[in-house]
Amino acid sequence: MIDLHTHTLLSDGELLPLELARRAKVQGYTILGISDHVDITTIEFVAAAILKLNKYAELHEGIKVVAGAELTHCPAKQIGDLTAVARKLGFSYVVVHGETIAEPVEEGTNAAAIAAGVDILAHPGLITEKEVEEAKRRGVLLEITARKGHSLTNGHVAKLARSVGAKLVINTDSHSPSDLITDEQALRIVTGAGLGSDDFVTMQHNAEALIRKITG
C-alpha cells in the first residue's frame, strides 16, 4: 500500500511520526506520506519537525517515509503563495484540503489548488468537469479517499476523472492507527467508487511515480 495523506500529532493525528510509520509497515505499507495539516500560522513549525524525516530514506526497514504538507482551510487566495512557501521550506510534496461536502471549505479552493500546481487535491468533493480537465492539464492528482464523510463524493470524482482522463490516487487521510488500510481494503473502496482492480493498480503507480519524481 502507498498512502500519501496521513496525519500525526504534529497536527490532529494521534501518533508520533515514527510510530505511524511502524504501524503502517506492519499493515503492509511500502511508502507512507505524512502530510500534516498546516496553514500560515503553523507551516514553519511543522516543517522544522517533520522535515527531519528527509535525512533518512528508511526510518523503519522496508518502508519509505516521505514528508509532505496539507494546506487546510486556507483562504483560496493564499493557496498559491502558501504552496510556494511549502516548497521553499522543503516539503517533498503539497496536498490541499479540497472542497469536501463534509466540511465548510471555502468555495474556490479546488480551483486555486489546481492553479497552484499542487501535487494532490484531497477529497475534492463535487469538483467540476472544468476543474478536472485543468487538473489533468497541470498533472494534479485527484484523491479517492477512505476517510468517512470525505468519501461520500468518491463516485463523482472517479466518474469525472475517468471521463476526462485525469489521474487519481487513493489515500486514507489517516488520523489514528485504525484508519490505516490494507491493499484489499483499498481495492474495496476503489470498487465502491465505481472503478476496478486495474484502476487501483494505476492509482498506486501514480503515487509511486510522484514519489520517484520528488525523491529521485
What string of pLDDT tens digits covers the 216 residues of the chain? 999 999 999 999 999 999 999 999 999 999 999 999 999 999 999 999 999 887 765 667 889 999 999 999 999 999 999 999 999 999 999 999 999 999 999 999 999 999 999 999 999 999 999 999 999 999 999 999 999 999 999 999 999 999 999 999 999 999 999 999 999 999 999 999 999 999 999 999 999 999 999 887
Q: Return the sign of the alpha-carbon dihedral for residues 37, 160, 213, 176.
A: positive
Q: Supply the range of the domain harboring residue 176.
A: 2-215
- When divided into structural domains, the chain yields a total of 1
How many C-beta atoms lie closer than 10 Å to residue 106's C-beta? 14
How many C-beta atoms lie closer than 10 Å to residue 214's C-beta? 14
pTM of the model: 0.97
CATH number at residue 163: 3.20.20.140
Q: How far apart, in whole angstroms, are the C-alpha atoms of residue 15 and residue 24?
A: 11
Question: Degrees (nearest 5) of the Cα angle 106, 110, 116?
Answer: 115
CA proximity to 6, closest of 14, 107, 184: 14
